Amino acid sequence: MVWKENRENAYCEITPAILALKEQWEKKNYIDPKLYKEYNVKRGLRDEDGRGVLTGLTRVGEIQSYSVTEGEHIIPQDGILYYRGIDARELVKGSVGRRFAFEETAYLLLFGELPTAAQLEDFCAQLASYRTLPTNFFRDVIMKAPPRDLMNTMQRAILTLFCYDDKPNDIGLENVLRQSLQLMSNMPVLAIYAYQAWRFSQGESLFIHVPKPELSTAENFLRMLREDCSYTELEARVLDVALVLHADHGGGNNSTFTNHVVTSSGTDTYSAIAAAMASLKGPRHGGANNKVMAMMDDIKEHVQDWSDEGCVADYLTRLLNKEAFDRSGLIYGLGHAVYTKSDPRCEVFRGYVTRLAAEKGLEKELTLYANVEKIGKQLLMERQHKSVLSTNIDFYSGFVYEMLGLPMELYTPLFAVARISGWSAHRMEELSIGGKLIRPRYECVEEHRSYTPMDQR
């Protein structure tokens, strides 16, 4: 390994030898896509009709997006997201005027019941008491070689916290609950501190604010992020709603399933959460709103009149024809792997987007989003021969975060701040009722052959 002072190093170079080895790999690693159908492989653990393959049972969360007739015909319906049997939209509505909607949601996911006022107060106090990092942890761990991708910094920090735990491998439910609550409390701190460390590495000034125990998760997130610690009531409410809507997603999403798989091995809490983080980091899972934002920036650059539906339609047509933006042929944020008719999270978010855009004076940008959503769905439904198509929450979440002044580097970490509540609930559920190592089957399609002696190769 050869490191250079300017951080460019031969260790990262793609050499002719590596390219030759890649060609060698390609010769023997092709699998004909036809074989997946021949062996009836459920690619992505999805049936041909798009339904997920049943791999477990849960009480934590549920998604309803279609009904099935007696003839097994799938009828799209408006999506509903349930947390412990309660419509997530009711949680948002019921929390109006209160500061702890996300904390109430986390309590519900973990313990299966809505908390009383006293229980919620005690729960928030418990989280606040855990919202501290070990002495010099920021200096010794987070400040060390911070990458721009904050998810890696957070994973490293989570795994390092293992070393500060006297009972890190104890998977008794009381110990896992303690670890889960501590990680839930520290996740927003890790996200913000990872961002501040990266900024400092880029020559920006460093400022670190400690969380205040009397504030909610959303309030602390905004306070720690901003140099002057200021935020409006609407900003905190919108971020709180975003955390509620991302807290869980039915158990079958990639990161939660990863959490179940890793937990079933009997590993420790820190490793299980770091594994879920690794999944969430992937652009096919947690990074979708970043893609939406990049696409919208390209639209703003190439569409002169954002309110002209014809101009927007021309651009989106070129996008679908792989002639614009990243030439993927995708309109990011439209359509969803699970929701068929509507994403309930997006429908909740829509009203807050309008209010926040009005407060920030960004009605023009909101008009562009509305046009892209309306026209993009029409074009996609025509091409895909569909009568309905949902708008993903990711279509608007990036815009909301931008209006809140959140840097794009924090979009996916914020997702983790919310989702760890669901991961924790699913981990405890897997430990309590699982008892089996999750081990699916892969069919080997390589031909059997004999070993060839060295002198005959």
Exposure of 162 by Cβ count < 10 A (0-12 exposed, 13-18 middle, 19+ buried)? Answer: middle
d(CA 280, CA 412): 8
d(CA 188, CA 259): 20
Helix (H, G, I), strand (E, B) or coil at 425: helix
d(CA 399, CA 420): 23
Note whether 127 and 103 are within 8 A (CB): yes
Sequence letter at residue 89: R
Give whole-number Cα distances, 129 to 124, 404, 414, in Å.
9, 27, 21
Q: How many degrees, rounded to 5, is the angle at CA 113 between CA 109 and CA 118? A: 110
Note whether 409 and 147 are within 8 A (CB): no
Question: Which residues, listed in sequence order, are joined to residue 354 by a DSSP beta bridge?
Answer: none
Helix (H, G, I), strand (E, B) or coil at 183: helix
The DSSP output letter for 140 is I
Residue/partner pairs of 173-179 with CB below 8 Å, 24 or more apart: 173/428, 173/431, 173/432, 176/269, 176/427, 176/428, 176/431, 177/110, 177/428, 179/269, 179/270
Helix (H, G, I), strand (E, B) or coil at 86: strand
Question: Which residues, listed in sequence order, are joined to residue 64 by a DSSP beta bridge?
Answer: 80
d(CA 332, CA 355): 23
Catalytic residue numbers, as ranges: 285, 336, 394
**What DSSP element (H or E) covers 77?**
strand 74-83
